[in-house]
Amino acid sequence: MASKIKPAPQISIKSNATAGKMSQEVPDTAFDQLAESIRKKIGIKGPVKGEELTSHLEMVCGEVNRLLRSSFGPKGFDKLIINPVNEIVVTSDGKTILEEIDILHPAVTALKNLAKSMDKACGDGTKTAVILAAALIANGVKLIRNGVHPNTVVRGYRLALYKAYELLEYSSRPAKSYEESYAVVLGAALSKGMQPGLAKELTHVVLRVVERLNCLSPEGCLDLNENIKILQKSGGPEVDYLEGLIMDESPARPDMPRNFNKHSLLILNYDLKFKSEYLSPKHDKIARDLETAYSFRDKQKDILRGFADKIIGSGADVVFCEGNVDPCIEEALARKSILLFKKLKLKDLEKLSKATGTQIMVISDELAPERLGRADSLEVIKKCHENFVFIRVQNQPIMSILVWEPVKYNLRKVEEAVDDALNSAAFLYRNKMIVTGGGGAEFDLSQMLRLYALTLEGKEQLSVLEYANALEEIPKALARNAGMNALDAMTEIAASYSRGEEARIDLSGKVRADAPFFYDLASIKKLAIVSATETACSMLRVDEIRLKK
């Protein structure tokens, strides 16, 4: 059967007699198809206001809430997302889920911006803020449908926010022991579905790394992106860390030495190769005949030997090159027992330069010994069929963490877990105030806000009660994901609360008020509640959505 070939869309060219120019017009159907695809992603075809607007907000926020709450907490589930280019993303990270879903509805966009701001500000608490904001919007819509004015709902929410912030200030306390700090960071590591054993080992490493960097960083200025390098590899499970730099690189030649003590380093940029086809600076001799080709080859070897002699004369024991290196230079360095690494990432070289005090130079610079860097030790180790370079540099604010994960497809989870654990540890050393984790803090706030609502007059009381209901979405989500009945879990927590105990949802799928405790950082909890409330209030004050034509 002959295949049918669709004709290409016709492009009409019209003349403009007055302007004397030709204009190329694209058929209106192409614009219509593009506009229709965007409208489907937005979910709005025309102006939306009144009852239709409240229905939109209720539907969208309910869907986002259901999407994220099943991935919330250490027992949360993963989302498998296939993006428009058919890439598969498996994640439980709130910001990643919202970024990957292809929805452009204004309410979803507001929640996406909330997730981005939380991730940028503290790197954790993203799902807590988004789930709370979605619940606040949905509960506010219910009040509006029952005749409460949106401004009254917003006033009530702000009153509830001020009281919740005040109660968090009162109920938070400093983490005085290592066990309490450990519980905070462990909760952050487990929130991304990492194996408990690996998460516990990672927590100990993260606390040591952040504590050491706080001691080494001038005036406590700690930049996690600049001061810490993280590698995730298949293998283990195991966590290695080093005061210095770990690089997954191999020596340029197998006959080069693999370890040094108290060595000097040279970092070079660009390729160390001779690529020109000309023999003179005037470019008037081209290698076209045999004699000229031999002359060119001899001249090339002389230049490459000059490069090698210059490197050897610098006194460097180890050379790191960002570009490729000619085999002639590699051979000369190997004969002098100089270790060479080539084709390296510039970001790694910048970290290495900062750690060892080395200047990044080019071969045309003066390679003086005082411009070289120093390291305490260097060792090339082969592990799981891959070479790693361990460069130990003491008393410098550069640390490396190498995490071995048995399952290759869990490496993204490991990256997210390490990121959350590091951010939590960094915040902890800046502000050691903690609150009960596992949904305990949110439940306590909801109960105290119910009592606070009784002291108010007017319809703002209803808004405060709905704010308390929204806070209870956090422990309910944790209970469902732990395999518990949400109603039974809330009843048990309420019973513990009446006895004056700090109850929470435990990893074992039970409500516990005894050890081991889980804690959350009070600073991140406050930021999540404030940002969620502001996002909800801004959305509830919208009375119409219009599409710009």
**pLDDT at position 218:** 67
Say if residue 164 is in the same domain as residue 182: no
CA–CA gap between residue 399 and residue 230 (Å, rounded): 9
531 in a domain, yes or no? yes
Distances (CA, A) of 406 to 300, 414, 421: 48, 11, 20
Indicate which CATH number applies to the domain containing 148: 1.10.560.10
Distances (CA, A) of 332 to 182, 253, 326, 327, 434: 51, 11, 10, 9, 59
Locate the DSSP E strands across 112-160: none
**pLDDT at position 468:** 95
What amino acid is encoded at 248 in this protein?
D
Q: Quick one: tokens of 148?
A: 């409460």
Q: What is the dihedral of CA 472, 475, 476, 482, to 10 degrees?
A: 180
The rounded Cα 271 to chain-centroid distance in angstroms is: 33
The residue from 415, 431, 447 where one domain ends is 431
Say if residue 169 is in the same domain as residue 56: yes
Best CA proximity match to 325, nearest among 256, 390, 382, 378? 256
- Show the domain range for 350: 251-378
Say if residue 147 is in the same domain as residue 58: yes
Phi-psi region of 251 (alpha: psi -120 to 50; beta: other; left: phi over 0): beta
21 in a domain, yes or no? no
CA–CA gap between residue 458 and residue 292 (Å, rounded): 97
Say if residue 169 is in the same domain as residue 217: no
**pLDDT at position 2:** 39
Low pLDDT (below 50) residues in the chain: 1-27, 277-279
H or E segment to which residue 526 belongs: helix 522-540
3-state helix, strand, coil in the chain (%, to 5): 50, 20, 30
CA–CA gap between residue 193 and residue 76 (Å, rounded): 7
The residue from 431, 449, 465 where one domain ends is 431
pLDDT, one tens digit per residue, over 195-232 is: 888 889 999 999 999 988 888 876 666 778 888 999 98
Say if residue 89 is in the same domain as residue 181: no
Best CA proximity match to 94, nearest among 61, 76, 71? 71
Indicate which CATH number applies to the domain containing 329: 3.50.7.10
Say if residue 212 is in the same domain as residue 278: no
397 in a domain, yes or no? no
pLDDT, one tens digit per residue, over 498-544 is: 888 888 888 888 888 877 788 899 999 999 999 999 999 999 998 87
Q: How many domains does the chain have?
A: 3
Say if residue 409 is in the same domain as residue 501: no
Say if residue 354 is in the same domain as residue 302: yes
Counts of helices then strands in the chain (DSSP H, E): 18, 21
Say if residue 221 is in the same domain as residue 304: no
**pLDDT at position 85:** 73
Say if residue 209 is in the same domain as residue 92: no
Distances (CA, A) of 385 to 234, 239, 388: 11, 17, 10
467 in a domain, yes or no? yes
CA–CA gap between residue 475 and residue 489 (Å, rounded): 8
The residue from 336, 363, 378 where one domain ends is 378
28 in a domain, yes or no? no
94 in a domain, yes or no? yes
Say if residue 260 is in the same domain as residue 338: yes
Say if residue 182 is in the same domain as residue 161: no
**pLDDT at position 528:** 93
- pTM of the complete model beyond 0.85: no
7 in a domain, yes or no? no
389 in a domain, yes or no? no
